[in-house]
Chain A
Amino acid sequence: KAGVTQTPRYLIKTRGQQVTLSCSPISGHRSVSWYQQTPGQGLQFLFEYFSETQRNKGNFPGRFSGRQFSNSRSEMNVSTLELGDSALYLCASSPRFGVPTYGYTFGSGTRLTVV
């Protein structure tokens, strides 16, 4: 079956702009999480959605937001981009929320560069 699909794979934006990233989970998976990965901070949790509702949120400023659609696809948005937002943004899906034994399947990520 198809894995987690993230688009676009690469993105270059200018400071102050906004960006929207997309994630299509594995068919049947209803939980979608977003992570930011940087060399200095590693993998940091952004937020998790289940049944179109945000269930968990990490410690990121309000410039970072997300949403989930009825088909479980998710988008995350970053407004007023800063140089420090340059990172690999990873999406992960899971069949259910709150059942860690299922594990998470990650996409290949979107590499965002802010110049």
Chain B
Amino acid sequence: TQLLEQSPQFLSIQEGENLTVYCNSSSVFSSLQWYRQEPGEGPVLLVTVVTGGEVKKLKRLTFQFGDARKDSSLHITAAQPGDTGLYLCAGTNFGNEKLTFGTGTRLTIIP
């Protein structure tokens, strides 16, 4: 079973600060996706990365896929209260494209 460990599990910071969330595994993934989930709703796709070393930016969010395709990070610059939510990474396997979700990081931005 491939596991995706996210750290930290919980993060509470002040508005305007920067933060990084990590997603790590001992397994290689064919692609990795990041989702954000708000209470009472389903996860919403933020980005998909497929190439080792790939970096994608979405406004204040920067996503990186590790060179070895085993890990990823999400960096948020100047966090805002609207960034509050549960951040989930999810990987797909070569030849078996079901999503394996990470353990999640619950982020709270304090105004």
Contact = CB atoms under 8 A, between A and B. Distances in A.
**Are A and B physically bound partners?**
yes
B50 A109 contact: no
Report which residue of B35, B92, B99, B104 has the largest number of chain A beta carbons within 10 angstroms of its beta carbon: B99
Secondary structure class of chain B's binding surface, majority of residues? strand
A56 B98 contact: yes
Interface stretch (B18-26, B39-47, B60-68, B75-83): B39-47
A108 B40 contact: yes
B7 interface: no
Interface residues on A, range: 20 to 34
A78 interface: no
A109 B42 contact: yes
Interface residues on B, range: 20 to 34
Interface of B: 1, 30-31, 33, 35, 40-45, 48, 50, 88, 90, 92, 96-104
Contacts of A42: 101-104
Contact of B98 (A48, A101, A103, A109): A48
A39 to B, nearest CB: 10
B100 A45 contact: yes
A42 B105 CA distance: 11
Given A103-B45, A104-B45, A45 B40 contact: no
Given A45-B100, A100-B99, A104-B45, 17 more contacts: A4-B42, A33-B98, A33-B99, A35-B99, A42-B101, A42-B102, A43-B88, A43-B90, A59-B1, A90-B42, A100-B31, A100-B33, A100-B97, A103-B45, A106-B43, A107-B42, A108-B40
